[in-house]
Each structure stands twice: as structure tokens, then as C-alpha cells.
Structure 1
Amino acid sequence: MNWTAFITCAVTGAGQSHLKSDKVPVTPAGIAAACVEAAEAGAAVAHVHVRDPETGDPSRDPALYHEVVARVRDSGTDVVLNLTAGMGGDLVLGPPEAPLPLDAAGTDLIGAGERLVHVEDCLPEICTLDCGTMNFAEADYVMTNTPGMLRAMAARIRAAGVKPEIEVFDLGHLWLAKTLAEEGLIDDPVLVQLCMGIPFGAPNDLRSLMAMVDNLPAGWCFSAFSIGRMQLPYAAQAVLAGGNVRVGLEDNIWLDRGVPATNGALVERAATILSAMNVSLMTPAEVRAALNLTKRW
């Protein structure tokens, strides 16, 4: 049991959720406002993707990240910023009988340096590192993160003085994360996000979660979340397992059956769950101290 926990709010994500809920922020101004809203509701950390302001499609444009970060910092809101570095590893094959050539429209494979341009420009306190390759639910799409790519990215993140949040979707990803730590590419305390219930990674049942938790080295800090209707139950599940909490519109667009969520409402609900369990919420300053984060503004 974790009696002192922090909440991360993943405010927008890279999926098509903006087509299902008008609460999902799309523009830099909207995404920045969502970070502020989440912080005011009790989140210590805001996890940020950006989107094309015209279409809502996922983007990795460094200028959009720069605008979001500048807006949050200029607001004076004390929140730990966590920028995704997961874009640029998209591999879309052709159909089963003709996997090559690749689907050029969907494939977006770029180098380690280009994947981290926005991180090295904005210098957030945290950025994500998806620690493995994974089949998602889409028929021919693969999230591609080779060991070589991850070593190169981890080295650049470390050189920038940014804390990587290791995204773990299955036990093999955790094995790779341990290897990167053993090789000195990730500094203590290692920060891990256990991503549960995402097809086709680790299921969100209790045994699968505890298999992941039981394989974490001593001293590592972790959060855990699930998607959809299991997001809010995982607020309790995560702290019972000894971890921290993630909610937000990236992973779930509903507050109750038929009631669209906002990022602030999801954070408030998670905070209420934790309060009812006598769990104290960590402030951004406490998170920085616990994780040895560098605040640059």
C-alpha cells in the first residue's frame, strides 16, 4: 500500500478520442489549459501529447510542444510537465498477403534525435520512453522501439538532464528497462508507468498487474493505469499495489455512464478515491524531491 501518492493526468493522447468527445483538447491553448485544470484539481504531473490544431490528428511538431510548455509555464501553475517521446516509431505493414511495401501513409519511422527534438528544446522535467515494441489492436500497425533505438534515446534523455518515465506494456518491456538501468542509461530513482489493459499488452486483471509489480526492482517508483471503464478503479488498484495514479482523457473519456469527462473531473474523482482511502496527495514540489527532478523555470 502506498499512503502518499501522486496523480498524473494524461490530458489528450494521440488517439482518435477527439472525434468521440469534444472535451479532448486539440489546440496548444486547449492542451495547456487542460494541464492547468488538472493541476488545480490535484494532479502533480501533466502528461502531454500535441495535435494538429486544424485536424486534431496526432503531431510531433516541436513548435506545438514549445507553445504548450510556454503557456503552462507562463500561467505560473506549479505542475511537473511530462512530454511524450513516443511519436516517430509507427510501422504500418501492408495486408497479410503483401506486407511489403510498407503503408507509407501510416508509417512514421524517424531517428532518435528527431524523436527528441521537442524534449531537448523544451527541457521538461520528465519525458516518456516506450520500452519495447508492441502490437496494438490495429491489424497491421506495430509500435516499434528496438533495443538500439531505446539505448540511443535513453542516452540523449540522460544527457539533457530529463527524467525518463519508462512506459511498460508487458513483462518483456520491464526486462529491457532493467537492462538499460544496468547499463547506466537510466539514473535512479527509475520511474515506471505500468500501462495495463491495452491490446495486446498486459491485461488489466489483478494477477497481471501484480506480476509486473513483483518484477520491479527495489527502489523503483511506479504508477499504474488502465483504459476505459477501468481507469478510475485503477486509481485504487494502483495505490493498493504500492504505486501512484494516472487518469486523463488520453485513456478514458467518460466520468460516469453517459457522462463525458473532463481532465479536471477525472483528477477530482481520483483524488476523492484516494482521500477516502486515507492516501495523501503529493504536491509537485514533493514529486520533484522524490524523483530528483530538475525544475528549469
Structure 2
Amino acid sequence: MEEPRIVPIPPSSGMRLLAVHAHPDDESSKGAAMMAAYSAAGAQVIVATCTGGELGDILNAAVGELAHAHRDLAGVRRGEMAEAADILGVEHRWLGFVDSGLPEGDPLPALDPLCFALQPLESATAPLVKLIREFRPQVLISYDENGGYPHPDHIMSHKITVEAYKAAADPARYPELGEPWSVSKLYYDRAFNPERFRTLHYGMVESGIESPYAERVAEWEAKPDAEFFGWVSPHETTTQVACFEYFEHRDRALLAHRTQIDPTGFFFAVPSDVYARYWPWEDYSLIDSKVPTSLPEDDLFAGLR
């Protein structure tokens, strides 16, 4: 096997990155190692969380009977988020919206009219425009059109990020929210990059380890024109940030979200040595750039240094 191309993150003082996520814990399962790596390199990194995660399920059986979590899940999740941000070395802001929940059933139940996913786009975008104008990031990251996966809050996070990317630079829009700021680069996270999962699958097989992705990879290879997950937008991976040294930070941040993350579950199925050998990056799609850059990239701030 060809050795992975490892390009270290350069010193990043003066660089500013803003990542927009739907719920507390999303920042730890999508891009956490990248953010920890840039923070350690001197960049200023802020995570903006759109909702409080009030309607999340308690997914870790070990805390399933924790009285505090059942009485005040939103409060518990705020504490978990603070712990995860500290582990990653990032700053954190709440945008203040109410969790929409993930509707299930046939027919699907109606969403609460007050939830994030049903807010008018203009008003839902305003807190993010204000944050962008205050923080002045060069790089903005969120999900693709399907939300990374099709949760109403993830899709809405995508919508307000794209809208804020345009609106924050326009002096005619939201004039009461500060001086205009033009973000230089917009990326979509590719945590669900199908090639990553297929490569890790074969890496585990080659290492003699049972792969949790075997069935899905077999289905995809039997129908190569089908999407690996069925809902991943087919954006090209343009940018791979080598950040394996910070996967341990990612795992600890995930575990900080103890009501949401099963410590024996999916996120911890791949051994660290398999990651190191086969996929030591986190993956992104460059959607728009106002500075010259060449693809593929190994640095989210390429063209800005």
C-alpha cells in the first residue's frame, strides 16, 4: 500500500476558523481533530452550535438512569459541550435555537413550530451573521445540502451557513449587526466520505480485524452507482487535513458527550493504528474561495498565508 501523504499543519497564528454545527456533540464527531490541530498550531477556532440539543436521546446505557440527565438534558448537554470544547482547545458560542428533534414514523409527525428547522431563514441567519462580523473568520465550515445526514437541524445549519457567508459581506444586509466581513473560504465537512469508510474497511480486513463496514461496503460495490449512505451529497473531496495526532483529542471530546455517545459504539470501531496507516486525515470540500488556491489542498488556510 502507498504511504499516506502527511503534510503537517503550519504555524497558524492569525488564522481564524468558524465551524457551524447543529447540536452539541456534532463538533466532536465531525472535524474535531482538525480543529484541535489548528488550535494547537496557533489558530483561533470557534464552534457555533445552533441548538441546545434538548430533544436528543440518551444513547449511552451507562447514564441511562442518571436522574439529572432525565430531568434536565439540555443543562447536562451544556456541561458536556463545555468539557468537549476545553479538550479540543476551541472557543464556543450558542446560537440559541431550539432542537427540532428527528421525526420518525409513517406519517412523520409535525415539527414544533418554534423549532430551529422551521424558523424563517432571514431571522435564523442573523445570529450567525453577527458572530461572523465580530469574529471575522477567514474560513467557514458546515454541512452539505443534505446536512451531512438528513436531520432537520443539520439541513437548516447548512442553509444559515451558506446564507451568512453571503450576507455577512453585504453592507445592505443586517446593517445593525456590525461592520461587514467577507469570509474568504467556505467548506463542507465530509465526515461521511464514502472512500474513507471503504479504505478503513479494507485496512481493517488487511489487519485481521473485523470491520463494522463490511455489509455497507459490499452493498456499495454491488451497486457502484448508488451512494454509499444514500444521502451524502456527491461533492468532491478537495482538502485533506493531516491531523492524526489529534484523533485522541477527538475521541476524548466525543466521550465528554456521555449522554449521547456509547463508548463501545460506532465511533470507536476503528483502531488508532489503522487510522494512522490508512486514513490520517479529515476531509473537506472547498465550495467557494475568494483567494487563489490550487486543488487538492492540505490546508484549510491555503491561499491565506
Which bin holds the TM-score, normalised by the shorter protein?
A: 0.3 to 0.5
- TM-score normalized by the length of structure 1: 0.37
- TM-score normalized by the length of structure 2: 0.36
Larger radius of gyration: 2
Select the structure that is richer in strand. Answer: 1
